[in-house]
Amino acid sequence: MITALSLNPSIDRTLTVPKFTYGGLNRVSSEKQDAGGKGINVSLVLRALNCDVCCAGFLHRETSPIFAKKLSAAGADYDFVFCPGATRTNLKILDAAAGIITEINQSGRPVSPEELAQMTEIVRKHAQESSMMVLSGSVPPGCPGDYYEQLIRLCREAGCRCILDADGEKLAHGLKAAPFLIKPNRYELEQLSGRSLKNRREILAAAREIISGGVSVVAVSLGAEGAMIVDKENALYAPPLPLQVNSTVGAGDSMVAGLAAAFDRGDSLEEAFRTGVAAASAACLTEGTQPFTPAQFEDCRRKVAMEYVR
């Protein structure tokens, strides 16, 4: 069983405009609204990869049926702390002409000390029942800056491996607890290393510095340049697949889910990377965060090319 945490879920509202004009009038050509958040996305992709998964986190009563329905339809279990009010809304504006998405995200309703304590106990329970825990995304106001670090330490005590996909203070604190895997992008890795990373060798060196601190695997998303994965012994680079991209929303979450699924079943670094890259690529073929099909995933998997980085 893999547990995916969704501490700050969102209603994702995507507006498509033919050509975005900053400071001017923009007319919407299409609109889509969906239950989202990184932990929710990871859970759905894990189900698309036929993994047993439970999504745990905070959920707000007014909008909870939207999330419960989506997870149930995918066959994912869930275990939430139910809070009063409605879930935050994240607005995404897609400039169709440029293919650029502008995101405007709300912070979310603060959680109380009582709700936070309930969440910690839920994580403790699932750490004892799960082989892998995925901690991804933002946390709501009321969570301490080192909350992911606290939860990773709790999971390690229970023998549950953790994947951390976060940024800023959450990532810096989380590293202190030595999660099994982290998935920064280039900018986040630069922030951690304190220097600009201009090429693959420099990225490799920065990743190895993190591994020397106790992390087992560092997967680095490089956007349009592809991705890298590094462990203590090997480093691999995968260029982007030639695809007709419909949306990059959720691609990073799909990579995390692919890596989690593969490492959980004991795959090698190479096979786990292939699965992660294929899942991220297949996610780009769908609209928004809609799940990819098995055929799309297998087609992408066959096309993944990799090379070792020295």
Answer yes or no: CATH 3.40.1190.20 is held by domain 1-179: yes
pLDDT at 280: 94
Which pTM value belongs to this model?
0.92
Q: Is 299 part of the annotated catalytic residue set?
A: no
Radius of gyration for the alpha carbons in the chain, expressed in angstroms and rounded: 19
> Looking at residue 20, what DSSP letter applies?
-
| Residues 6+ positions from 247 with CB-CB distance below 8 Å | 94, 283, 284, 286, 287, 288
The two domains 1-179 and 183-310 share their CATH topology (first three levels equal): yes
**C-alpha neighbours within 13 Å on the C-beta side of residue 95:** 11
Q: Which of 12, 34, 231, 253 is catalytic?
A: 253
Q: What percent of the chain is modeled with pLDDT above 70? A: 98
**Coil, helix or strand at residue 265:** coil
Q: Is 85 exposed, middle or buried (0-12, 13-18, 19+ CB in 10 A)?
A: exposed
pLDDT at 61 over 70: yes
State both tokens at 292: 């990819």
Instruction: State the DSSP string of 78-134.
Output: EEEEEESS---EEEEEEETTTTEEEEEE---PPPPHHHHHHHHHHHHHHHHH-SEEE
The mean predicted confidence, pLDDT, of the chain is 93
Residue 286 binned pLDDT confidence (cut-offs 50, 70, 90): confident
**pLDDT of 289 higher than 90:** no
Structure-token match 């073929």, residue found = 285
**H helices of the chain, where?**
38-48, 64-74, 113-129, 147-157, 168-175, 186-193, 200-211, 251-264, 269-283, 294-303
Q: Are strands 217-221 and 161-165 parallel, antiparallel or unpaired?
A: unpaired
What value does the mean pLDDT take over residues 172-192? 96
Mean pLDDT of 289-303: 88
* CATH number for the domain whose boundaries are 183-310: 3.40.1190.20
Q: At residue 76, does pLDDT exceed 80?
A: yes
* SS3 label, residue 227: strand
Boundaries of every domain in the chain? 1-179, 183-310
Query: Residue 288 has what pLDDT?
Result: 67
State mean pLDDT over 254-266. 97
